[in-house]
Structure 1
Amino acid sequence: MTKFKFDSQMSVAASEALGPHIRRVYDQPGTTLLFIAEARHIERTQPAPESDAEASVKDRIISLEVPNRDQEDAVRDAARALHLQRTAQGTLDEEGQLVLSQGTLKRIAGRLHEMEVSRLRAGLGHWVSLRPPGEVQLEAVAHRDAAGAGRDR
Structure 2
Amino acid sequence: MRKIVVCSIFIIVLLAACSNGSKNNATQEIDITKRFLEEHAEIGLTYNEVRKRFGAEKLADVVDNTETWLYDSTQNNDFEYNRSLEGVAFEEIKEGNLEYQLYINFMDKKTFMYSYFYLGKDGKVWQYQITSNGEPQNNPVSN
When normalised by structure 2's length, the TM-score is 0.26
Q: Which has the higher helix share?
A: 1
Q: Which has the higher strand share?
A: 2
Instruction: Name which one, 1 or 2, has greater alpha-carbon Rg.
Output: 1
When normalised by structure 1's length, the TM-score is 0.24
